[in-house]
Amino acid sequence: MTTAAAFVIAPPAATRGVGHPRTRWRLATAAAAARRPAACGPPVRAAHPTPRAAAVGAAAAAAASADDGGSGGGARRTHSRRVVLASAAAAAVAAALGGVTAAPRPAAAAAAAAAPTGPFVLPPLPYAADALEPAIDAATMTVHHDKHFAAYTAKLNAALAAAGLADVVTNDASLRLLLGNVGAAGGKGGGVVADPAVRAAIRNNGGGYVNHTLFFSTMTPAAKAAPPLVVLSEAIDGGFGSFDKMRAAFTSAATGLFGSGWVWLVVDTAGGNRVRVTTTANQDVPWAATPGLVPVLGLDVWEHAYYLKYKNKRPDYVEAWWSVVDWAAVERRYEEAIASAA
């Protein structure tokens, strides 16, 4: 059975950042990234892993897919697997930083890089702003993408710079690992980002970035929307009994969510790849609280997602949104999730 200890990888002495304000590592996720090429939209800046970094990435990916060796019943296997996933995420991020917590940049340097334009880039909308009418109005799509999503992107870049991670967390796979780290352990004072304000900024804006990337890329004009294909249909039937029951559970969660947040259809890669509905508050991501959850479909129920057209009538928004879900994109994400968990 694999343990967390197997994945503490000591960086070579020459590059360990002792005495340096920052260590420079590439958080190599080449292996993980290769398994999820379309998971988060267009690739924004490919990592260029060194052989050592590639080894770190391969170990992290291997850890993420490790089985517990069939040591017990389903419940124990799930628990062990979640621990492995959480430990692997923490170890991969920590290893990439040379085992030290990320050092905040000196104030002068941070001010000089006041408005970083990278490493993350705002993905363009995959369709015209009015393409999802009448379900989602063009004004909402424009403000949602050009203002809210753009702000999350800019603030994520600023937060990574403040954390000294802008050279380390440079693609979606590494950002997902980091969010797993700051969202769960990080919230309790652990994690690789020491400063609580910077940690919150990464959690909120990094979450906003990945969540909106998924949201816009799993919708399509209604005319092009088709029902789920076989593989996903079977998974939904297995998880809920029928598509209609899944839709009802998802809708109920969406209308009942208090405040700002998201509703997700997730694959529980630590729980037999079962498909489930779950929710998160604000811009939290599902795998932060529960390692192994991979979202394949998400619905933004922050009021900004629907207020201009629907005002307080969130149920009407949810109902209309179903007509623009891109089940082909959801199915692709589902297949990538189970392939990477295999």
Q: Does 188 bind other proteins (CB under 8 A)?
A: no
Q: Does 312 bind other proteins (CB under 8 A)?
A: yes
Nearer Cβ to other proteins (113/308): 308
Q: Does 121 bind other proteins (CB under 8 A)?
A: no
- Give the binding-site size for other proteins (rule: CB under 8 A): 20
Among 137, 303, 319, 335, binds other proteins (CB under 8 A): 303
Q: Does 315 bind other proteins (CB under 8 A)?
A: no
Supply the minimum distance, in Å, between the C-beta of residue 269 and other proteins: 27
Q: Residue 271: what are its φ and ψ, rounded to 5°? A: -135, 55
Q: Does 316 bind other proteins (CB under 8 A)?
A: no
What are the start-end ranges of the E strands in the chain?
Answer: 261-268, 274-281, 293-300
Q: Does 259 bind other proteins (CB under 8 A)?
A: yes
Supply the minimum distance, in Å, between the C-beta of residue 163 and other proteins: 17
Q: Does 289 bind other proteins (CB under 8 A)?
A: no
Of 205, 206, 179, 173, residue with least CA distance to 191: 179
Q: Does 189 bind other proteins (CB under 8 A)?
A: no
Q: Would you say 251 and 140 are in contact if contact means Cβ atoms under 8 Å apart? A: no
Q: Footprint of other proteins on residues 134-173 (CB under 8 A)?
A: 143, 147-148, 151
Of 262, 266, 244, 265, residue with least CA distance to 306: 262
**Helices in 107-195 by DSSP H: which ranges?**
107-112, 138-143, 150-162, 172-183
Site mask, other proteins, residues 266-285, x = CB under 8 A? ---------------xxx--
- Which of the stretches 53-61, 80-88, 299-307, 315-323 binds other proteins when contact is defined by CB under 8 A? 299-307
DSSP reduced 3-state for 295: strand
Q: Report how far apart, in Å, the C-alpha atoms of 256 and of each of 9, 35, 211, 236 are.
A: 44, 34, 19, 21
Strands 293-300 and 261-268: antiparallel
Neighbours of 300 (CB within 10 A): 24
**By the criterion CB under 8 A, which residues form the site for other proteins?**
143, 147-148, 151, 200, 204, 258-261, 281-283, 302-304, 307-308, 311-312
